[in-house]
Amino acid sequence: MFRNRLYTILEGTDEGGAVGEVFNTFIVALIVANVAAVVLGTDASLYLRYQFFFDWFEVLSVAIFTVEYVLRLWTVPCNPAFAGRGGRVRFAASPMAIIDLVAILPFYLPMIIPIDLRVLRMLRLLRVFRLFKLYRYSEALKMLERVIKAEKEALIVVGFVLVVLLVLASTLMYCIEHHAQPEAFSSIPMAMWWAVATLTTVGYGDVYPITPLGKLLGGFIAVLGVGMFALPAGILASAFGDEIKNRHENKRICPHCGRCIDEPPAENENPVGSVEDGSAWPVAADTPQ
């Protein structure tokens, strides 16, 4: 019973109640604060000035995330998808559990094996991956995942077309500009840097064509890039609109009070059909005419 209750709190389900909401809010705030600490900690002068606070905040955060990870492993059999033998192993191999582990692993690795200082610095930067823990607590991120899955075929086609366009633009520009600028366009891979900057309309200006034919090709690729990169944005925007529309259409509205039936009633209200205090009348059954 206690494990089931703890599972609902950790997963933020409706059964978790106010305790689950407070826990989720606390974890989200802790994740955001951790990412901010990692970013600010790369400033050497700032880190040296507040090293004590940075270090102790890291220890406290790792302790909380470790307890959370262990509790999730302990309570995961309450989820039917991970019930039975090997359920905890399957959960530990799931993407979200791996993210949870990566979030705390850089703290424990130096205690287990000797690590070079440069490698240790790189491992500490992995703490930024704690940002991905927000997926578990964000319905908007879950909606984004559903949208990408729904439109993955169209996005793959657009991605393939963009890769083909990138290769063609790089090859043509290499053939046109190589003799005029042998250092800037020494090879097709080098020309790809120009193609990426042009297709994305960034235009850094470090590499650019100087021949008339090269300028003509560059202008054409730049205009084409605007339209090509608008395609995935349009696909995702349309899919988001469909997802939001479906969510509204799937909501069941009570014809008597106008409340969404999928939402729990407020604490000071009785559900429709309750006559405990006479404040609400039961819904009459339809009778044949």
User: In the chain, where are the structural domains located?
Assistant: 2-137, 152-249
Higher pLDDT, 8 or 14: 8
- Quote the mean pLDDT of the chain: 80
Mean pLDDT of 5-25: 79
* Beta-bridge partners for 260: 253
The pLDDT assigned to 85 comes to 82
Top CATH class, 2-137 = mainly alpha
C-alpha 119, offset from chain centre: 26
C-alpha 12, offset from chain centre: 18
Please, which pLDDT band fits residue 259 given cuts at 50, 70 and 90? low
The pLDDT assigned to 273 comes to 43
Has residue 91 got a pLDDT over 70? Answer: yes
Which ranges in 113-151 belong to alpha helices (H)? 117-125, 139-150
86-90, 139-143, 177-181, 270-274: range with lowest mean pLDDT: 270-274
Has residue 279 got a pLDDT over 60? Answer: no
CATH code of the domain made up of 152-249? 1.10.287.70
Higher pLDDT, 39 or 285: 39
Total length of the chain: 289
The pLDDT assigned to 250 comes to 65
| CA atoms of 5 and 115, how far apart (whole Å) | 41
The rounded percent of the chain whose pLDDT value lies above 90 is: 20
b vs e for 151-177, b when ≥16 Cβ sit within 10 Å of the residue's Cβ?
beebbeebeeebeebbeebbebbbebb
Burial of 191 per CB tally in 10 Å (0-12, 13-18, 19+)? buried
CB 211 within 8 A of CB 180: yes
Structure tokens at 45: 């002068």
